Structure 1
Amino acid sequence: MKIVIQRVRHASCTIDSQITGSIDQGFCVLVGFTQSDTEAVVDKVVKKIVLLRVFSDEEGKMNRSLLDMGGKILSISQFTLYADCKKGNRPGFTRAARPEQAIPLYEYFNQAIAGAGIPVETGVFGADMQIELCNDGPVTIVLDSEELGYENH
C-alpha cells in the first residue's frame, strides 16, 4: 500500500457536481494498493494512520493523533500512486492492484478506519473525482507498507 496523508482543515470529494464526501479537520488520505496487499497489511497501515501524532498539543508540538483530537478522514482511492515513470513519458500502472482485488481492500480499509473510531467519508472507486482541500501546515506524509516492513512475503 502507498498512502499520502494530508493534514487538512477541511476536504471534500465531488463527482458530477455532487459531493460524495466532506470533512472538517482531519486527514485527506490518498490510498493505492498493489498485488501483494492483504487485509493484514491494511490493518497495520490503518493503525499507523490513526495513531500518527501530527496535530499540535497545548505547547504547539506535533504530539496529538487523529483519535486524540476527534478528527475525520476523507479516503480517496488512487491507483496512480503506483505509477512507474522509469521509461518514456507515459506512466505504467502494472504494480497497481486490479479492481477485483483493490475494491475489496479499499472497502476493508474504510471499514477498519471506522472500526478504529474515526469517522470516514469517501470518494467512489474508479470515478473521475475532484478533490478540494485546505492542507493544514502544510503537513503531508507518505507511507509505503513495503518501506514500513508490513508486506507479507
Structure 2
Amino acid sequence: MRAVVQRVTSASVRVGGEVAGAIYPGSEPGGPDPAAGAAGASGQGLLVLLGVTHDDDEETAAKLARKVWDLRILDGEKSASDVSAPILVVSQFTLYADTRKGRRPSWSAAAPGSVSEPLVTAFAAALGKLGAKVETGVFGADMKVSLVNDGPVTLILDA
C-alpha cells in the first residue's frame, strides 16, 4: 500500500460536478471556499492519495492508517491525532505506475478494483476508528481533486 500524504489547509474532491468529500480544517461543516485556505483551530488537515498493490490486506491498511494518524507533520510537530485534524482519502491506482520502460505506464503492480476498493474502505474505516474525521472520494470515479497544500509538505509512505 502506498500513500501520498499532503498537509493542506483545505481539500475537496468532486465527481460529476458534485462535492463527494471535503475538509476545511478549523471551519464549520460546509466550510468556506476551498481556494481561500481555511484557517481556524489547527487550520490544517491531510489529503491522502492511496494506492493498493496485490499483496496488501486489511492489516496493512490498519498499520498505514495508524502511521498517517500519528505522523507528526502538522505545525509544532503535531500529528492529526494530536489536533483532531480531518483527513480526505482519495483512491489512486496510478501510484503503482511502472514507467521504467517506454512512454506508456504499466499498471500491473496496482491491485484490481475488486481487491483495492475494500482495502481503501478499510483504510478509511481504520482512520475513523482511531478518531479521525474522514472524508473520501468515490472509488473508480473520474475525480477532480482540489487542495491548498500547506508548506508545502508532501510525503510518500509505503507499507
TM over 0.5: yes
* Structure 1 partner of 2:17: 17
Q: Secondary structure of 1:76's partner? A: strand
Q: Distance in 2 between matches of 1:4 and 1:37?
A: 16
Task: Give a deviation string over 1:77-130, Cα, whole Å, max 9, x none.
Answer: 000000000111010100100111101101111110111100110110110000
Paired amino acid for 1:137: G
Q: Distance in 2 between matches of 1:7 and 1:84?
A: 26
Note the 1:63-142 alignment, pairs <5 A: 63-142=77-156
Q: Secondary structure of 1:103's partner? A: helix
How far does residue 69 in structure 1 lie from its aligned partner after superposition?
1.3
2:54 to 35, 39, 51: 35
Note the 1:53-64 alignment, pairs <5 A: 53-57=72-76, 63-64=77-78
1:44 to 63, 78, 81: 63
Amino-acid identity (%): 45
How far does residue 143 in structure 1 lie from its aligned partner after superposition?
0.3
Unaligned runs of 5+ in 1: 58-62, 146-153
Q: Secondary structure of 2:106's partner? A: coil
Q: Distance in 1 between matches of 2:85 and 2:93?
A: 25
How far does residue 55 in structure 1 lie from its aligned partner after superposition?
1.2
Equivalenced residue count is 140
How far does residue 74 in structure 1 lie from its aligned partner after superposition?
0.6
Which runs of structure 1 show a deviation greater than 3 angstroms over 4 or more consecutive aligned residues? Answer: none
Q: Provide TM-score, normalisation by structure 1.
A: 0.90
* Structure 1 partner of 2:3: 3
Paired amino acid for 2:70: L
Q: Provide TM-score, normalisation by structure 2.
A: 0.86
Q: Distance in 2 between matches of 1:67 and 1:87?
A: 41
The root-mean-square deviation of aligned C-alpha atoms, in Å, is 0.7
Paired amino acid for 1:99: G
Unaligned runs of 5+ in 2: 25-43
